[in-house]
Amino acid sequence: MPSATDDPAAAPTTPAQTRRVLVAYFSRPGENYYYGDRVTLETGNTHVVADMIAAAASVDVYRIEAADPYPEDYEETVARNVREEDSDARPAIAGTLPDVAQYDTILLGSPVWNVQTPMIMRTFVEGVDLAGKTVHPFVTYAVSGMGRVDSDYADLCPDSTIAEVLAVQGETAAQAQPDVEAWLRRIGL
């Protein structure tokens, strides 16, 4: 099975599956919120969930990375996110965006920042053609649950079907395998 760190160009195809599925996710390691305190993560929470998805289903994986990486420090990242939201920024993505033409279903993963998608996710969805695709958002969050993420994607992807979502509390991401597998079954993967 592909890992969430695999290059999508090198990801194996799945001939037994009638539809092609891409997991595209953004995750930030470093200092993170943890039950009102802070903890340093070597692997971001959304990355953990993306790895669970890749281990449980036949998917290709594309990791969205910022050309200008987000700070290791939690408060600095929060401040940068606020600046990006206030200016309606589209942070650059490192590397080449994947060609999504071959995919029927896209699983879009990210943390929830300030009750919405991080601005880099807007860069991604505006940089690829998701028209006619089924999009299943999955998120990790601290206190907001899904926040406005599904409605953000509905606005950003008007020609896509925004389907069943998965929200995992970041502090419990490492234990989310049963929820991830149940979600994958519900969405037919």
Per-residue pLDDT of the chain (189 residues; tens, 9 = 90+): 344 444 444 444 434 346 799 999 999 999 999 999 999 999 999 999 999 999 999 999 999 999 999 999 999 999 999 999 999 999 999 999 999 999 999 999 999 999 999 999 999 999 999 999 999 999 999 999 999 999 999 999 999 999 999 999 999 999 999 999 999 999 999
> What is the rounded CA–CA span in Å between residue 164 and residue 151?
12
CB < 8 Å & 24+ apart, contacts of 145-151: 145/112, 146/112, 147/112, 147/115, 147/116, 148/115, 148/116, 148/117, 149/110, 149/112, 149/116, 149/117
Interstrand relation of 161-162 and 37-41 (parallel, antiparallel or unpaired)? unpaired
What local confidence, expressed as pLDDT, does residue 106 receive?
Answer: 98
> What is the rounded CA–CA span in Å between residue 75 and residue 81?
10
Cα torsion through 124, 72, 165, 152, rounded to 10: -50
What local confidence, expressed as pLDDT, does residue 19 receive?
Answer: 77
> What is the rounded CA–CA span in Å between residue 22 and residue 24?
6
CA atoms within 13 A on the CB side of 162: 18
Contact (CB, 8 A) for 125 and 149: no
Q: Hey, which residues does 106 pair with through a beta bridge?
A: 22, 135
Q: Which residue has the tokens 């995919």?
A: 103
What local confidence, expressed as pLDDT, does residue 53 receive?
Answer: 98
Cα torsion through 88, 78, 3, 91, rounded to 10: 30
